[in-house]
Structure 1
Amino acid sequence: MPKGQKILFLGVYGMEVVECGGALAKNILNGGESYASIMLCRETSQPQVKSAAETLGVKVSFLNFEYGTVDLSKESKVKLIKRIREIRPDIIITQDPEHSFHDLDPDRRPAMTLLLESIALASRDYALDETPGLAPHPIPTIYYMTPHHPNTVIDISQVWEKKEKAMDMLESQMEFSGKHFDEMLDLKTVEMLYPGFSKLDSYQEKGRAMHKVLDKAVHVYHGLATHGHFALAEAYRREGNFHLQELIK
């Protein structure tokens, strides 16, 4: 990753800042700046997401959209456009369009259209009165996180422990996940994945235990397991072609 990049992550939900936290933390390690703006994050969860972002070195803000009401209104677009013009990023990371349509989390589908429209409009002479002092910003390079069909992987071995520590901060999410896994998986299966799962005292502990299993599995899969060069890797899909002066290895 080139040094000194300015990356803006535009997320729908709070945990996503940790899911792509390896790339964000690696950018900081290389002398860059990493920012995150989250559309939907409950007020009670915001301190946890902020702590996770701080662990990664990411500067986070919350756009305070309401669940079930994400739309393509001018007001919604301006919230995102203002942030893009304030940060003026070289790279934007956001959710994968294909993934967003298959995922049945609420608001993902309208959020995807809103995000892409806002990125496009931020580069035009749109809503200049609503963003005084902020000039249009050319469309940056876009990477989609956790894509179904990645074309890019980032070595995050160097920041793996930092990413795991950031995930520890998301107590509400871990509790939600713990209850989900406890109800979905039978005892024999879950003990295969995480021996001792049934003896854990709380849903929060159970959620964290299963996320540790899942996190390592996903990152090893995109790294070493698929004849990769890295032990642990985050997967992305770059929008458009790579433009190179010459072929690189």
Structure 2
Amino acid sequence: MSKGQRILFLGVYGMEVVECGGALAKNVQNGGESFATIMLCRETSQPQVQKAAEVLGVNVTFLNFQYGTVDLSVESKLKLIKVIREVKPDIIITQDPEHSFHDLDPDRRPAMTLLLESIALSSRDFALEETPGLNPHPIPTIYYMTPHHPNTVVDITAVWEKKEKAMDMLESQMEFSGMHFDEMLDPKAAEILCPGFSKLANNHEKGRAMHKILDKAVHVYHGLPSHGHFALAEAYRREGNYHLQELIV
């Protein structure tokens, strides 16, 4: 990643800001600007996501789409097009198309089509009257987050503690995760993964404890195995080929 980029993360759900938080925070650390726009985030959760974004140095906004109603209407496209033309990003990070079709979280599938259509239309002479003062913006380089088949890993070791602190801010998500893991996992399995899990006081503590283990496992997996070079890495899939003047190390 070059220094001083303008990166825009277009997310469906709030926790995704933290899931991509390493790349976003590292860009800020290197002198760039990182932005995030979230389509679906409950009003009660928005202050927590805002705090997480502040830890990462990310400027976050919310589009307040409603669950179960994401569509390809012109109105929906304009919400995203306006953001893209305002931010003028060099890089966009968004959800992985392949992952979105397998994920059973609601709205991911229509959101993926909406996101890609909006990125494409942002570069054309579409809806210029509806976005006064904003010119078409060329399609940025696109990276897909948490892909099934990554072709890129980003070393986030230097901002790992910042990413973990940002995750601490997502209290309602941690509580939901704690309830989920408590119901889903066999007690013996939970103890193997997180010794003392059953003795934790509440769902929030259980969720945060399990996320710390999962987060480290995922990032180590993408960083070190198969002769990897990084202790902790975020995985991405770049859309299209790399266009290089010469081969790079």
Question: TM-score band (shorter)?
Answer: over 0.9
State the alpha-carbon separation in 2 of the partners of residues 128 and 196 from structure 1.
58
User: Equivalent residue of 1:236, what SS?
Assistant: strand
State the alpha-carbon separation in 2 of the partners of residues 175 and 129 from structure 1.
44
1:13 paired residue number: 13
State the alpha-carbon separation in 1 of the partners of residues 75 and 129 from structure 2.
13
Q: What per-residue deviation string (whole Å, max 9, x for no partner) do you get for residues 206-245 of structure 1?
A: 0011100100000000001232110000000000000001
Aligned positions, number: 249
State the alpha-carbon separation in 2 of the partners of residues 208 and 158 from structure 1.
21
State the alpha-carbon separation in 1 of the partners of residues 102 and 175 from structure 2.
24
Asked if 1:140 corresponds to 2:140, the answer is: yes
Q: What per-residue deviation string (whole Å, max 9, x for no partner) do you get for residues 148-169 of structure 1?
A: 0000000000000000000000
State the alpha-carbon separation in 2 of the partners of residues 51 and 226 from structure 1.
36
AA partner of residue 59 (structure 2): K
State the alpha-carbon separation in 2 of the partners of residues 27 and 226 from structure 1.
26
1:233 paired residue number: 233
User: Equivalent residue of 2:99, what SS?
Assistant: helix
Q: What per-residue deviation string (whole Å, max 9, x for no partner) do you get for residues 181-225 of structure 1?
A: 000001110000000110111101100111001000000000012
1:158 paired residue number: 158
User: Equivalent residue of 1:10, what SS?
Assistant: strand
The alpha carbon displacement at 1:132 in A equals 0.5
Asked if 1:220 corresponds to 2:182, the answer is: no
1:36 paired residue number: 36
Scaled by the length of structure 1, what TM-score is found?
0.99
The alpha carbon displacement at 1:84 in A equals 0.1
1:201 paired residue number: 201
State the alpha-carbon separation in 2 of the partners of residues 64 and 131 from structure 1.
19
1:75 paired residue number: 75
State the alpha-carbon separation in 2 of the partners of residues 76 and 164 from structure 1.
33
User: Equivalent residue of 1:225, what SS?
Assistant: coil
State the alpha-carbon separation in 2 of the partners of residues 114 and 226 from structure 1.
36
Scaled by the length of structure 2, what TM-score is found?
0.99
List runs of 5+ in structure 2 lacking aligned partners: none
AA partner of residue 209 (structure 1): A
1:124 paired residue number: 124
User: Equivalent residue of 2:154, what SS?
Assistant: strand
The alpha carbon displacement at 1:130 in A equals 1.1
User: Equivalent residue of 1:13, what SS?
Assistant: coil
User: Equivalent residue of 1:76, what SS?
Assistant: helix
Q: Pairwise mapping of residues 167-182 of structure 1 onto structure 2 (< 5 A)?
A: 167-182=167-182
State the alpha-carbon separation in 2 of the partners of residues 127 and 104 from structure 1.
32
User: Equivalent residue of 1:8, what SS?
Assistant: strand
User: Equivalent residue of 2:134, what SS?
Assistant: coil
User: Equivalent residue of 1:40, what SS?
Assistant: coil
Q: What per-residue deviation string (whole Å, max 9, x for no partner) do you get for residues 93-139 of structure 1?
A: 00000000000000000000000000000000111111110000000
User: Equivalent residue of 2:143, what SS?
Assistant: strand
User: Equivalent residue of 1:226, what SS?
Assistant: coil
The alpha carbon displacement at 1:248 in A equals 0.8
**Runs of 4+ with >2 A deviation:** none
Identity of aligned residues (%): 84
1:101 paired residue number: 101
1:60 paired residue number: 60
